[in-house]
Amino acid sequence: MNARNGKRGRLRTAMGEDGSGERPLNWPGDPESLTADAVDFEALARVLANTCRRGGRLRRFHSLAVHAVLVSEAIEALGGPEAGESRTVLLHALLANASVAWLGAEAADSQRGAERLKRLRETVDRTVRAAAGLQGKPSPEEAELLRFVSRMAEAAEDRDIPGARGGAASAVSFPPLPGRIRTVEPDRAARLWLDRLQKLRGPSSVEGGAVAPSAEESGNGNDSVSRDEPRPADIGAGRDAGGTGDEA
């Protein structure tokens, strides 16, 4: 199981105190006191994997973790900048909903204490980015790309997930991501999110905004989920990815 050690942004295997092979997780807590060193990416992955998109207002479970991976991989499929630069925007996409783990799924839409929530979201986002090795916010061009592909993912949800199209249609129509979205159970969704994180935080220049891994982190790739299981991109390609739900 992937886990982080005391160093910022590191993921490694650790043995729990009870010898079970699982260490205690540092679950997201008080956003006011959050530091980059305290960000536990495995705990974050599990919260995102257990949190349903659209505040749970869907007839079939679709986690924030899988959504983030799908958006990140969709941007990668579009091609564009050199590897180091593109890794930055792909990592921004993966971490886009991280603040939900500290502030709750409803925080983004709440109008109560809006200014305080905005400040806390900015604090959490900045801290998680720093823990992942990113420097600063997405550029205006990256932010626009993230918004566009996120809307494509929403259009795919409207098409594939029962109950997703619950309100009035958007004034602007976006093309959906290709393929179909399938349900992924939380444990596997968390592994896929962590696998994606490790891939994006691989060797990169400083300009690329990612932290180069240690030799221990790099390993030989034998424990990579992608080598044994289909990637989330396959979920959107209509193939059975080990999900638990039926097609829309």
The whole-number pLDDT of residue 5 equals 39
> Does the pLDDT of residue 235 top 70, yes or no?
no
> Does the pLDDT of residue 167 top 60, yes or no?
no
Query: In this structure, what is the dihedral angle of CA atoms 51, 70, 150, 187, given to the nearest 10 degrees?
Result: 0
> Does the pLDDT of residue 232 top 70, yes or no?
no
> Does the pLDDT of residue 149 top 70, yes or no?
yes
Residue 169 pLDDT class (50, 70, 90 cuts):
low
Q: At what angle do helices 64-78 and 41-49 cross, to 10 degrees?
A: 100
Candidate from 85-89, 149-153, 187-191 with smallest mean pLDDT: 85-89
The whole-number pLDDT of residue 161 equals 87
Residue 177: alpha-carbon gap to chain centroid: 17
Q: Is residue 241 part of a domain?
A: no
- Domains in the chain: how many in total? 1
The whole-number pLDDT of residue 76 equals 93
Candidate from 130-144, 177-191, 224-238 with smallest mean pLDDT: 224-238
Question: Residue 42 belongs to what domain range?
Answer: 2-235
Here the tokens at position 107 are 């925080």
Mean pLDDT score, 158-186: 80
The whole-number pLDDT of residue 56 equals 84
Q: Is residue 244 part of a domain?
A: no
Q: Is residue 248 part of a domain?
A: no
The whole-number pLDDT of residue 245 equals 43
The whole-number pLDDT of residue 243 equals 45
Which is more confident, 40 or 234?
Answer: 40
The whole-number pLDDT of residue 233 equals 43
Interval 91-132: pLDDT, tens: 999 999 999 999 987 665 555 668 888 899 999 999 999 999
CATH of the domain at 35: 1.10.3210.10
Average pLDDT of the chain to the nearest whole number = 75
Query: Mind giving me the DSSP string for the chain?
Result: -EE--SSTT--EE---TTSSS-PPP-----GGG--GGG--HHHHHHHHHTSBGGGG-SSS--BHHHHHHHHHHHHHHH--S-HHHHHHHHHHHHTTTTTHHHH-TTGGG--TTHHHHHHHHHHHHHHHHHHHT--SSPPHHHHHHHHHHHHHHHHHHHHHSTTS--SPPPSS--PPPSS------HHHHHHHHHHHHHHHTSS--GGGT-PPPPHHHHTTSTT-HHHHS--HHHHTTTS--S-SS---
The whole-number pLDDT of residue 244 equals 44
Q: Is residue 246 part of a domain?
A: no
The whole-number pLDDT of residue 238 equals 39
The whole-number pLDDT of residue 163 equals 74
